[in-house]
Structure formats: C-alpha cells, structure tokens
Amino acid sequence: MPSGAAELRESGGCSLLTEFATPYGASGIAASDRAARLPTPHELRAFVCLAETLHFGRAATTLGLAQSSLSEVIRRLERKLDVVLLDRTSRRVTLSGTGERMLPVAQAVLSGLADLRDVAHEAGARTDVVRIGIESCGFAQLNGPIIAAIGERLDGATLVVRESLGTDAAFSTMSLDIALVRSPADASITVHPVATEARGLLVPPSHRLARRARGTLAEVVDEPFVATAPRVPRTSRYWLAVDQRQGGEPTIGGVAHTMQETVDAVGHLGLLTTGCASMVRCHPYPRVAFVAADDLPPSEIGVALRRAESRPAILGLVDVVRQVVGQLAPALGVITFVP
C-alpha cells in the first residue's frame, strides 16, 4: 500500500480508518505555486511567538520546537513573503519595520483561525469522524479493547487511528480529538490520568544489563541513546529521561520518529532508550530487553483532550477508557489502574 494510504474496515456499527501516513515528508498532489507561497498557521504562530518574546530559546520552548527548527520556519516564511521580518545579531533579535507591520496582521489571522475552530466545535457536537492518537504504545494490549469500546459508544462514527508522538501540534491543528498518551503535554491539553506502568530501559539483547531484571539509569547514563521524536522537544526529553540525569546531557547516537523506529535503533544499532515492558510486547521485532530502572519514576498513562473540548460525546470517552482499563488491567499484571 502506498505511503499516505488508508484502510477502511467495519467494526460493529462503526467504521475504523487506520492511517499509514508517514509522520514527516510523505507528499501527495503538489500544490499550485500560489498556494505554496501562502504562509501556514504554523509559520505565523512561530513568527508571532518569536516577535512577542524576541528570544529564539524561549520561543522554541513555548512552541515545542528545537531552535534550529524555529530558525528554519522563520527563514521559510521570509522566503515565501520575500521580506525580512527580523533583524538578527549575535546578541539580540529585533523586529524589522516590515515585521512590526506584519505582527498585528498575523495575530489577527491566528485569532480568526481560533474563532473558526470555536465555531466548528460549537457545531460540533458532531462526531461523524473521531480521530484517536496513540502516543508511544498507548495502553499497549488494551488499545484494541479501548478502541472497540469507543466504537460502541459512538455507534455509526468513523474512527481514525494515528500514531502520534508528541500530541500538542496534532491537537492544535484539529487532527486529533482524543489521544492515549504517556509523555507530558503542553498547557493547551488536559491529560486525565488512568494508569501507570513501571519505567525502565530498553537495551539490545547483547547489552550487559539484558539478563538482569533491574538496573538503574545511572549505570548507562554515558552510553548513547536514541532521540525519539526530536522535533517535539518535550516528548524527546521525556524518553531520554533528561530530568533524571541530574543536569547531565544525554549522548545521542541516532534519532527516531516512531516507536517502531526507536525499537529498531535499540535492536539493530545497539542504542538505548527508556521505556516500559509493554513496548517490548507491542513491538516484538527486533528483539530487545526491558530492564526495570529503580531511579526512574513510573510511566503515567492517560487520556488527552484539548483543554477547550466541550463536546459531550468526546468528554464521555474518558470514562469509557477508564472503564475498560479498570476491568482488564488487573489481568495483565503490568499496567496498574489508577482509581
């Protein structure tokens, strides 16, 4: 099946659409030159954030981007408009005259888009299509029962299931309605805690820790790790366990944009990552070993919704997930339900 294709099948009274699109770079029909030169909401949002902070580091953190990615977005916007928006020196960033005139216009455009989204939401008790994101491995073996229960609750709706590492942008662009998540989200998203799972290390079978049941991050802190979802710093930092490294920076041996790529990097390239035992079950090949880490906090698994979500049908899905996990998690013996 070609990249970007989708498979539609029936699940009870509910259609299930699973997307196989690659997260970065899969292209369809080329846009016209005119459309290609129009600024995107992402570019305008980056410009407004940088114009308001006049600091690449703070703006990049707010947007969940690497500074290099933010710089490229601004350069691309300037190329599209054939203008200079910012004057940059080694010490400071200031708005150019054109940038000062463009800022209120860009703010107005983004405000208008937000109003448009609000109107759509209000029309929006409609749930003909519900987009479900699965971040990392979500609830692992319980993803299937959860999606089936959502389909029963939303009888007649089409469910779209997407892998989504780093959910912030997906929610802001309305491409997700609900997500099953493990890593932290930004302030625009509400995560409802549902369960926890012991967190540890995923190591190749030949690693010295592979035969042990327990270990620590401290034992491998200087070894090369795979950076998962590098374009979403908050998510990448979580899987690299940056907050547990006591100020030290991880050694990056490679990057991955999906959890399968992460497991491939461990099994084939000998890199390490943090993770959970359920990830090994969800991604059995190549073979990797899970080692519980005594110095890593548990992985919190939850249901993410937009903070502004108001559709009763979507809000009710939190209880659907909690009911499924509460009933089935004890039999797994790995995921612990949080009442």
Longest dimension (CA), the chain: 64
Q: Give CA separation, 316 vs 207, 246, 313, in Å.
A: 45, 40, 5
Task: Report domain extents, the chain.
Answer: 39-122, 199-297
Tell me the pLDDT tens digit for each residue of 101-133: 999 999 888 888 877 766 665 555 556 889 999
Amino acid making up residue 171: F
**In this predicted structure, what is the pLDDT of residue 8?**
45
Dist. CA 178–CA 150, nearest whole Å: 11
Stated as kind and residue range, the H or E segment containing 335 is: strand 335-337
Residue 300 has what pLDDT?
A: 95
Q: Give CA–CA dist 196/194, Å, rounded.
A: 7
Q: What is the pLDDT of residues 176-220, one digit of tens each?
A: 899 999 988 877 889 999 999 999 999 999 999 999 999 999 999
Q: What pLDDT does residue 108 have?
A: 87
Q: Give me the residue label for tokens 């110095």.
A: 295
DSSP helix/strand/coil, 95: strand
User: What is the reported pLDDT for 158?
Assistant: 92
pLDDT at 170 (0 to 100) = 65
CATH class of segment(s) 199-297: alpha beta
Residue-wise DSSP of 232-271: SHHHHHHHTTGGGSTTPPPEEEEEESSHHHHHHHHHHH--
Give me the amino acid identity at 289.
A
DSSP assignment, residue 31? P
Rg (CA), the chain: 21
- The three-state secondary structure class of 48 is helix
Q: How far apart are CA 15 and CA 221, in angstroms?
A: 46
- What does the alpha-carbon distance between residue 245 and residue 162 come to, in Å, rounded to a whole number? 31
- Tokens representing 142 are 């319980």
CA distance 307 to 324: 23
339 CB neighbour count, 10 Å cutoff: 5
**Which position has the token pair 């491998």?**
220
pLDDT for res 149? 97
Measure the CA–CA gap between 304 and 179, rounded to whole angstroms: 5
Q: Do you know the residue count of the chain?
A: 339
Residue closest to 69 by CA, chosen among 300, 183, 232: 232
Percent over 70 (pLDDT), the chain:
84
* pLDDT tens for each residue of 85-103: 999 887 788 999 999 999 9
- Please check whether the two domains, 39-122 and 199-297, share a CATH topology: no
pLDDT in tens, the chain (339 residues): 444 444 444 444 555 554 433 343 434 444 445 556 789 988 998 999 898 888 888 888 778 788 899 999 999 999 999 999 999 887 788 999 999 999 999 988 888 887 776 666 555 555 688 999 998 889 999 999 999 999 999 988 899 998 887 766 667 666 789 999 998 887 788 999 999 999 999 999 999 999 999 999 999 999 999 999 887 888 899 999 999 999 899 999 999 988 899 999 999 999 999 999 998 888 888 999 999 999 999 999 999 998 888 889 999 999 999 999 999 999 888 899 999
* Count of beta carbons in the 10 Å neighbourhood of residue 204: 19
Q: How far, in Å, are 33, 206, 281, 286, 321 from residue 269 at the CA level? A: 41, 11, 19, 11, 36
Q: Tell which residue, 314, 260, 297, 237, has the closest CA to residue 134.
A: 260
Q: What pLDDT, on the 0 to 100 scale, is given for residue 126?
A: 58
Distance of alpha carbon 194 from alpha carbon 94, whole angstroms: 45
Fold category of 39-122 in CATH: Arc Repressor Mutant, subunit A (1.10.10)
